[in-house]
Amino acid sequence: MLVAPKNTAVSQAAATLAQVLAVPLVPVFNHADAAHARQILGACYAGGIRAFEFTNRGDNALAVFRELHCFAQQHCPGLQLGIGTIYTAAEAEDFLAAGAAFVVQPVTTAAVAAVCQRHDVLWVPGALTPNEVYHATELGAPLVKLFPGSAVGPDYLRALRGPLPKVKIMVTGGVEPTAASLGEWLGAGANCLGLGSQLFKQVTDSQALATRVAELLAFAQTHKP
């Protein structure tokens, strides 16, 4: 079992986890154009988001992430900017060097777990079945991504909570940017929610996105477990 080194002070990973759970919506976003990505990040931050997952998709994802990190440092104090869709230790190392505050996987790999634990960075592996969720916790995951949520639905999470009541779970994939969807997943036992492409569709400008995010976040914070 991989575990983080013991320390009497609050670890960086634990502090990031506390922030993710306190503001329980995490936008999940990718775009090849850095200027557009900065605009989206800024709008989400203005709406109250404090953890944002940029996904490692496309040949220039690392370059865009570096620009986002610089932007966040200058304009988004307190934001935890993480990287998603990480498969290998080498990818994790590259994005941690670029400033990633947390690492999200669609799967669970011991190699990425070890990198995150060595750097004291929050590791969020992906899992679906009870066996996969349990395996992730055995490797030391403090938060597990239930993915894809669209394949199972809130009733599945509710059933999963029977044998695994204490695992911190973030649902991604299938979470709609509506009060009804957020309420169903949070009511089923999700500790936080990843909001993907649906959040950004049919949004005309940054102010509209910030307003939409603020409304959803206000609902989530009053309905989280």
Q: For 171-185, how does the pLDDT look when each residue is reduced to its tens digit (9 = 90+)?
A: 999 899 999 999 999
Q: Is residue 4 part of a domain?
A: no
- Give the domain CATH number at 198: 3.20.20.70
Torsion 144-149-155-156 (CA) sign? negative
Of 22-26, 112-116, 126-130, 202-206, the poorest mean pLDDT is in: 202-206
Q: How far apart are CA 8 and CA 98, in angstroms?
A: 27
Question: At residue 7, does pLDDT exceed 70?
Answer: no
Predicted local distance difference test score (pLDDT) of residue 2: 52
Q: How far apart are CA 197 and CA 95, in angstroms?
A: 22
Question: At residue 3, does pLDDT exceed 80?
Answer: no
Q: Rounding to the nearest 10 degrees, give the CA dihedral for residues 102, 64, 97, 209.
A: -30
Q: Is residue 163 part of a domain?
A: yes
Q: How far apart are CA 16 and CA 89, in angstroms?
A: 20
Predicted local distance difference test score (pLDDT) of residue 8: 41
Q: Is residue 197 part of a domain?
A: yes
Task: Convert the pLDDT of each residue in 79-114 to its tens digit.
Answer: 999 999 999 999 999 999 999 999 999 999 999 999
Q: Is residue 76 part of a domain?
A: yes
**DSSP letter string, 58-107:** STTHHHHHHHHHHHHHHH-TT-EEEEE---SHHHHHHHHHTT-SEEE-SS
Determine the 3-state secondary structure of 37 from DSSP. helix
What range does the domain containing 92 cover? 12-223
Q: Is residue 29 part of a domain?
A: yes
Mean pLDDT for 134-149 is: 98
Q: Is residue 1 part of a domain?
A: no
Predicted local distance difference test score (pLDDT) of residue 27: 98
Q: Is residue 7 part of a domain?
A: no
Of 24-28, 97-101, 201-205, the poorest mean pLDDT is in: 201-205
Task: Convert the pLDDT of each residue in 57-71 to its tens digit.
Answer: 999 999 999 999 999
The conformation of residue 10, written as its DSSP 8-state character, comes to: P
Question: At residue 161, does pLDDT exceed 60?
Answer: yes
The conformation of residue 174, written as its DSSP 8-state character, comes to: S
Per the structure, the count of domains in the chain is: 1
Determine the 3-state secondary structure of 146 from DSSP. strand
Q: Is residue 151 part of a domain?
A: yes
- pLDDT, averaged across the chain: 95
- Banded model confidence at residue 225, pLDDT cuts 50, 70, 90: confident
Q: How far apart are CA 152 and CA 159, in angstroms?
A: 11
Task: Convert the pLDDT of each residue in 73-88 to its tens digit.
Answer: 999 999 999 999 999 9
Entry pTM: 0.94
Predicted local distance difference test score (pLDDT) of residue 9: 65
Predicted local distance difference test score (pLDDT) of residue 224: 84
